[in-house]
Structure 1
Amino acid sequence: MTRLFRFPGSARWIVLLTLVAILVGSIAQAQSIRLKDLVEFDGVRGNDLVGYGLVVGLNGTGDGLRNAPFTEEIMASILERLGVNVTGEQFRPRNVAAVIVTATLPPFARSGGRIDATVSAIGDASSLLGGTLVMTPLTAADGETYAVAQGTIIAGGVSAKGDAATVIEGVPTAGVLPAGARVEREVDFDFTALTQIRLALRNPDFTTASRVEVAINREIGRGVARMLDAGTVLLDVSRTGRTSPAHALSAIENITITPEQKARVVVDQASGTIVMGSDVRISEVAVSQNNLTLRIEEAPEVVQPSPFAAGQTVVVPRTGVALQEQPGPGLALVQGGTTLSDVIAGLNALGVSARDMIDILKSIKAAGALHAEFVVR
């Protein structure tokens, strides 16, 4: 059963204003972002690891040892460590491949924990599908071993080869080991001894940094945060009243802040992708875009000599060239936009493709009418 609610005139306005307030509040909330998603905390960072290892168990898709002698060297080294002497032996299998193993040691990783690893072939192996990575030490920039990787590889593609054709889907020469590396050493860092922590903004901006400072001081209730520059806010842990830096960060990391971003237009010429920020503005400008079509036709003509005449049959080239310019609408006026929707509507009114739009945006930027950073990738 449907019920109809009727409100008097004044009550209707109250209900309407309440709905508008809820809508505005939801929009403002959608634009707010947690502090942990805007900044990097000083000392809370990962460390890159790398190692050189060997993948075995491949179905004839490994390295050709004549083209990758380093594979033979590491294979001989591993076998010798296992007590097998292969010195002087002609051991050239096709089921092994040399690989580079990479991983990231997350912050506060403890000994015995497991992390993901990525495996990539460095020789002429055609596929790592079904292979097993032999125990590979992973070292950091200081040369110390922090993890050891070993396990079955999950390759990212499929390769099939016949006598006359080869089909490759994805990248079969790279794969992952989910939780395939075990942490053996912890990073020597005493996080509890920090008295000050720097918050580094991922996208430096003076306005955003100022808002971070104000939001933290409002949440804690005292002047514990201080903006140093556009990308750094200093947090005084000793004045937060928390027992440790971990407690201080847990108290502020979920604070919501509305960040400011530079007006930016990013274009990818390879794919014809155009991305605009919400603050992009275009001043009133006139644009003209014409298309040129060049057509070349080859119609060679065979000329034969007359009967009983001395001569040879020759082919005379006949080339037709036509240059056609499609008439455009002339100068099109793009109105100055005060919102992103106005800008998009003005550009779409030109009726051109995405790739032509990139050229138009370049010209508008050169004319000084595009008020945004223009990034070409």
Structure 2
Amino acid sequence: MKHCRTPTRITTLAAWLVAVIGLLVSLPLYSGNIFSKAAPGQERIKDIAAFAGVRDNQLVGYGLVVGLDGSGDRTTQTPFTVQSLKNMLGQLGVTLPQGVNPQLKNVAAVMVTADLIPFAKAGQRFDVTISSLGNAQDLRGGTLVMTPLRGADGQVYAVAQGNLVVGGFGVGGDDGSSVTQGVPTVGRIPRGATVEREVPSAFAQGGSLVLNLHRPDFSTANRMMNVINDTFGGQVARAIDGASVRVRAPTSPSDRVAFVSVLENLPVEPGTPPARVVINARTGTVVIGANVRVLPAAVSHGNLTVTITEDPQVNQPGAFAGGQTVVTPQTNIGVTQEDNPMFLFNPGTSLNEIVRAVNQVGAPPSDLISILQALREVGALRAELVVI
């Protein structure tokens, strides 16, 4: 009976292996086009979308920078620096007498911030940023003492320590004069933190992955879904809304990684952005989108300049007149107006024509903002006007 069952098992195993090998062999068939250079107007999925749950995590910690050359916190004004120093010394076995507060100038209280990359493993190192919290003048030459970094849940995920690299500098004299370049109270420690705890990830859980677009757009989401389905066949991807596409993925972690490596390199042509004009009123920057159109409208632009000058006249009486010298004010008023003709926008005027027409009349950015706002008010500007 055993000899009769063996061929059946071998045949079943062979058929299963043939099916698996056929599936694996089919993946390279797409690699020739998937990893090739995207056509003009196309972008890779990894450049326009991100997988849900795969993100950086912010970490923060409070610590002390020691070894400063007299440029640390003035402890009389920052009592928390003294308290932190006393607590640190107590943990190291050094007990200060009651009521003794050391007055040091080579210690600074700092905040340590960092971004923990996705899938970071215990023992890996990453950069941290150190920012002065008190009134320290310069962090150059300082060393950050071992500082735990916590996440939003209060758990310690990394520990930071090391010598600071500060780009700016500041010098001052006894008379109060000083020169500062850059920001000497902020520094970095390259690879200054070590991961102690891994952040749980849901990447390998469930039977699907969700792609979230960086800029939600229904056209882009639909095109992404079609590209994925055309590549892998069937209904592998389904659009959830204008920002997300759900994709069925293998359950095995290794197979899922291979699947994602192919998926994220698929080229997709994003949908055209909406017609929009963005105005920064503070800096005078105006950015006009490519799809902005203007209905028929006539615009007249001109500047009226009024100049007022005071030219006092001195009136002096004759030698024997017996009068007094007086100053007679004389005001000169001049009015000049630029001769800028009216220009006409034809139906369907494009971005290039708008810029050319405005440049011809010599309108500065501030006047361009006024022209665009006026066109919007009369309904001639077919675009969303965003003022930031």
TM-score normalised to structure 1 length: 0.83
Query: Shift of the alpha carbon at 1:217?
Result: 0.5
1:360 corresponds in structure 2 to 371
Task: Give the drift of 1:305.
Answer: 11
Specify the alignment match of 2:66 in structure 1: 56
1:85 is matched with which residue?
Answer: 95
| The 10-residue stretch of structure 1 (190-199 or 333-342) with the greater mean CA deviation from structure 2 | 333-342
Contact 2:71 2:138 in 1 (8 A): yes
Decide whether the 8 Å contact of 1:335 with 1:346 is kept in 2: no
Per-residue CA distance 1:64-103 (angstroms, 9 max, x = gap): 2222211111122112212222342231112221111111
Shift of 1:144: 0.1
Runs (5+) with no aligned partner, structure 1 = 1-25
Question: Which stretch shifts more, 179-188 or 269-278?
Answer: 269-278
1:334/1:347 contact within 8 Å kept: no
Counterpart residue number, 1:170 = 182
Q: For structure 1, which segment, 200-209 or 294-303, has the greater mean C-alpha deviation from structure 2 after superposition?
A: 294-303
Once the two structures are overlaid, the 10-residue window that deviates more, 33-42 or 358-367, is: 358-367
The aligned length equals 350
**Hey, what does 2:301 align to over in structure 1?**
289
| Distance in 1 (alpha carbons) for counterparts of 2:165 and 2:344 | 55
Match of 1:23 in 2: none
Alpha carbons of structure 1 residues 295 and 171: separation in structure 2 relative to 1, 3 Å: farther
1-structure distance, mates of 2:171, 2:83: 29
Corresponding residue for residue 117 of structure 2: 106
2:78: which partner in 1?
A: 68
Shift of 1:325: 4.5
Moved more, 207-216 or 172-181: 172-181
Which runs of no fewer than 5 residues in structure 2 stay unpaired? Answer: 1-35
Residue in structure 1 matched with residue 291 of structure 2 by the alignment: 279
- Structural mapping, 1:133-172, within 5 Å: 133-162=144-173, 163-172=175-184
Match of 1:206 in 2: 218
Are the structure 2 counterparts of residues 350 and 66 from structure 1 closer, same or farther at C-alpha, using a change threshold of 3 Å?
A: same
- Mapped contact 1:336–1:343 kept (Cα < 8 A): no
CA shift for structure 1 position 322 = 3.5
Q: Which residue identity is paired with 2:203? A: F
1:38 maps to a residue whose letter is I
Alignment partner for residue 257 of structure 1, among 262, 265, 268? Answer: 268
Identity of aligned pairs, percent?
A: 44
Residue identity opposite 1:52 in structure 2: Y
Matched AA of 2:68: L
Q: How far, CA to CA, are the matches of 1:303 and 1:153 in structure 2? A: 72
Find the aligned partners of 1:305 and 1:81 in 2 and give their Cα distance: 92
CA deviations 1:291-317 (Å, max 9, x no partner) are 23344445678899999xxxx999x79
- In structure 2, how many angstroms separate the alpha carbons of the residues matched to 1:226 and 1:343? 41
Q: Alpha-carbon deviation of 1:264?
A: 2.2
| Structure-1 residue corresponding to 2:5 | none
Cα deviation, 1:161-199, whole Å, max 9, x if unaligned, reads 123522222222212222111111001235322211111
Residue 28 of structure 1, CA deviation: 8.0
Partner of 1:223 in structure 2? 235
* RMSD of aligned Cα (Å): 3.1
1:225 counterpart letter in structure 2? A
- The structural deviation recorded for 1:138 is 0.7
Asked if structure 2 preserves the Cα contact closer than 8 Å seen for 1:364 and 1:370, the reply is yes
Distance of aligned partners of 1:35 and 1:188 in 2 relative to their CA distance in 1, 3 Å threshold = same
Matched, 1:245 2:256: yes
TM-score, length of structure 2 as denominator length: 0.80
Assess if the C-alpha contact under 8 Å between 1:242 and 1:248 holds in 2. Answer: no
**Paired amino acid for 1:75:** L
Match of 1:122 in 2: 133
Instruction: Decide whether aligned partners of structure 1 residues 42 and 339 sit closer, same or farther in structure 2, where only a CA change above 3 A counts.
Output: same
Aligned equivalent of 1:184: 196
SS at match of 2:379: coil
Closer/same/farther in 2, CA of residues 135 and 319 from structure 1, 3 Å limit: farther
Counterpart AA for 1:271: T
* Pairwise CA distance, 1:230: 0.7
Which stretch shows the higher mean deviation, 206-215 or 354-363?
Answer: 354-363
Distance 1:189 1:167, change over 3 A: same
| 3-state SS of paired residue (2:277) | strand
Amino acid at match of 1:256: P
State the secondary structure of the residue aligned to 1:234: strand
Aligned to 1:375: 386
Letter in 2 for 1:227: A
